[in-house]
Structure 1
């Protein structure tokens, strides 16, 4: 009684060609989903940096209020500089020399700012409620009073 085991063994195992096809298809799917995921991760990280910038500015506005001190926020490149408003240097009586003291600054990796300066009153109120932010290719307006970031095109 000789049995033919070759047919039974062939049905229980995958061939090398079948394994290669499955690996190629799964690799293709992973590359498509992975690229999409990394794009979303970058977008979420940029939005997190915008939120951090808003919170940092809010803290500095509160500092101006608590200290009763006029200050300014300078937005340039990837940093925000928080500085005191110009003060008269009494050491040089013949010439008027104004000095600004940098109180704090923060740098960002994924967002940038066009050059702009906002004056902050002793009550902690900015002279402009809108700050422009570059998020990749998009230009956003951050409203400091409502903390909402909107597209520049949609706000016009």
Structure 2
């Protein structure tokens, strides 16, 4: 019989959450992303310009991505998962690649998502870390502007 340590079980729990997060984003499914978040989510997304509260903001952001990147034209690829030792938080390192609607070439950039997970298994705090100015420039260039 193999015993699973508390830290291994904790890491496995975060791996499952991360898999669900990645799939929901790759499907550009705003409802699925929002369902992974607590009602009182603290949402800090560079593209929005300020910190917001509530899962509806993340849902709307995903829907905006879906409008800008037609289904199947974009992907998030996880390149790392880091579990904080003292708190129920993870950092998901990722790479995005996608061709925006009306664009003639793909854009590519990387970033990190820092997620704090509650005892209920839901994400209570999100902070996106990436160079939003770079992303905006790449987006304009891909659209020929």
Q: Same fold (TM over 0.5)?
A: no
TM-score normalized by the length of structure 1: 0.28
Greater Rg, structure 1 or structure 2?
Answer: 1
Larger RCO, structure (CA 8 Å, separation 6 or more): 2
